[in-house]
């Protein structure tokens, strides 16, 4: 089959491209390299079943042509990373909403199934643990910049589900919880690559807030298995929302200690208030814990890698990168 991946030169998109090629499919990547990088897909360029276009997915004519050539579309292109969201809210909102509109509209003309990547961020301040797909989404005030990301992704979800309901376009929405692994950059604030590079560089690990907030980190290679299986499932997945994430929970302070130990680092751990780390009035989620029963039932998916294995992989990746520089 032929797959189009918007945002395919990004961290998750490049791993997805790799997995689809391994399973014998053809892959075309559309990416404007705003946060993605050609380095992420360089190793795929010699594969005759792999091709790419460097362009924005806001371009209707390009998306129309590429959707035409594809059997299934993965829409992963988005503005991601809390740092980017806080610094560039206009870009975040416009990219996330407009690109999804373009992709869905073009896919609808040809009835091409579309996967829309959403995020656990949409659960916002909900305290209904574990987060279930049918649970409430609890947003903060529009004057607090962070919520623009959650709201823009929630709009993407509504739009994808509306296309299914009203226009019979097969769409699948997945809410990705914290996804980590090799090739993720710490440039946009993601905590695992940041802590690893701080630990390997013997710089202080920067724990924001009081460090008691928890997250569940899932290996990107586990996540992309779920992404592929869901789209190959077909009918049963269409018009549905699925959580994808790990249930191994750790506090951010605990994570800093674990990274430091696994990296054999003597770095100090610095605890920094949110207002200093992001901006005044910044709101963080104290906990993010998914219910993954739905995806387990649908495609028998569960994470296979422990947090220690994940951190070990990220450490080895960054060590190898440093060795070639
Ligand atoms: N975080 C931190 N230090 C950093 C970067 C992030 O303590 O240098 C915290 C952040 O405030 C959040 C958690 O780590 O509580 C996860 O952050 P990330 O941006 O990776 O993902 P999020 O879950 O916020 O989308």
For residues 25 and 198, what is the distance between their CA atoms, to the nearest angstrom? 38
Can you read off the two tokens belonging to residue 35?
């946060």
- Determine how many CB atoms are found less than 10 A away from the CB of residue 45: 10
Residue 6 pLDDT greater than 70, yes or no = yes
Can you read off the two tokens belonging to residue 185?
């950059």
Average pLDDT over residues 78-88: 83
For residues 260 and 196, what is the distance between their CA atoms, to the nearest angstrom? 8
199 C-alpha vs ligand 1 centroid, how far in Å? 16
Tell me whether residue 149 is one of the annotated catalytic residues: yes
CB 238 within 8 A of CB 170: yes
| Given 74, 149, 163, 188, the catalytic residue | 149
Per the listing, tokens 């961020």 go with 121
Distances (CA, A) of 77 to 9, 274, 312: 9, 28, 28
Rounded to two decimals, the pTM is: 0.97
Q: How confident is the model at residue 325 (pLDDT cuts 50, 70, 90)?
A: low
Burial class (CB in 10 A: 0-12, 13-18, 19+), 259: buried
Can you read off the two tokens belonging to residue 245?
């994430």
For residues 210 and 195, what is the distance between their CA atoms, to the nearest angstrom? 16
Sorted by where each begins, the domain ranges of the chain are 2-181+218-246+288-304
pLDDT, averaged across the chain:
96
Average pLDDT over residues 170-178: 98
Q: Does 191 contact ligand 1 (Cβ within 6 A)?
A: yes
Residue 95 pLDDT greater than 80, yes or no = yes
Q: What is the pLDDT of residues 261-280, one digit of tens each?
A: 999 999 999 999 999 998 88
Can you read off the two tokens belonging to residue 264?
């054999």
Alpha carbon 272 to its chain's center? 25
Q: Whose CA is nearest to atom 11 of ligand 1?
A: 208
54 C-alpha vs ligand 1 centroid, how far in Å? 30
Q: Does 284 contact ligand 1 (Cβ within 6 A)?
A: yes
The hierarchical CATH code for the domain 2-181+218-246+288-304 is 3.40.50.720
- Determine how many CB atoms are found less than 10 A away from the CB of residue 117: 27
């Amino acid at each position: 089959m032929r797959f189009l991946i918007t945002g395919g030169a990004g961290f998750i998109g490049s791993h997805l491209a790799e997995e689809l090629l391994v399973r014998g499919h053809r892959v075309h990547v559309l990416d404007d390299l705003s946060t993605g990088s050609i380095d992420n897909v360089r190793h795929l360029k010699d594969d005759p079943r792999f091709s790419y276009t460097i362009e924005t997915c806001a371009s209707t004519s390009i998306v129309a042509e590429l959707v035409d050539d594809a059997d299934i579309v993965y829409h992963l292109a988005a503005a991601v990373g809390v740092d980017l969201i806080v610094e560039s809210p206009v870009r975040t909102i416009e990219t996330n909403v407009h690109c999804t509109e373009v992709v869905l509209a073009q896919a609808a003309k040809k009835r091409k199934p579309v996967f829309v990547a959403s995020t656990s961020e949409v659960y916002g301040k909900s305290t209904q643990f574990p987060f279930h797909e049918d649970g409430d989404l609890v947003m903060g005030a529009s004057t607090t910049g962070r919520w623009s990301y959650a709201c823009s992704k929630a709009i993407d979800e509504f739009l994808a589900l509306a296309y299914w309901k009203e226009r019979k376009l097969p769409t699948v929405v997945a809410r990705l919880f914290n996804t980590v692994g090799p090739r993720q950059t710490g440039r946009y604030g993601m905590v695992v690559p940041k802590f690893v590079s701080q630990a390997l560089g013997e710089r202080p690990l920067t724990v924001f807030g009081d460090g008691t907030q928890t997250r569940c980190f899932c290996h990107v290679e586990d996540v992309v298995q779920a992404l592929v299986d869901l789209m190959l499932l077909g009918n049963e997945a269409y018009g549905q929302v699925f959580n994808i994430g790990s249930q191994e929970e750790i506090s951010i302070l605990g994570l800093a200690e674990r990274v430091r130990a696994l990296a054999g680092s003597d770095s100090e751990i610095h605890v920094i208030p949110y207002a200093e780390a992001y901006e005044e009035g910044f709101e963080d989620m104290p906990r993010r814990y998914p219910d993954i029963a739905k995806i387990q039932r649908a495609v028998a998916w569960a994470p296979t890698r422990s947090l220690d294995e994940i951190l070990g992989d990220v450490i080895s990746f960054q060590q190898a990168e440093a060795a070639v520089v």
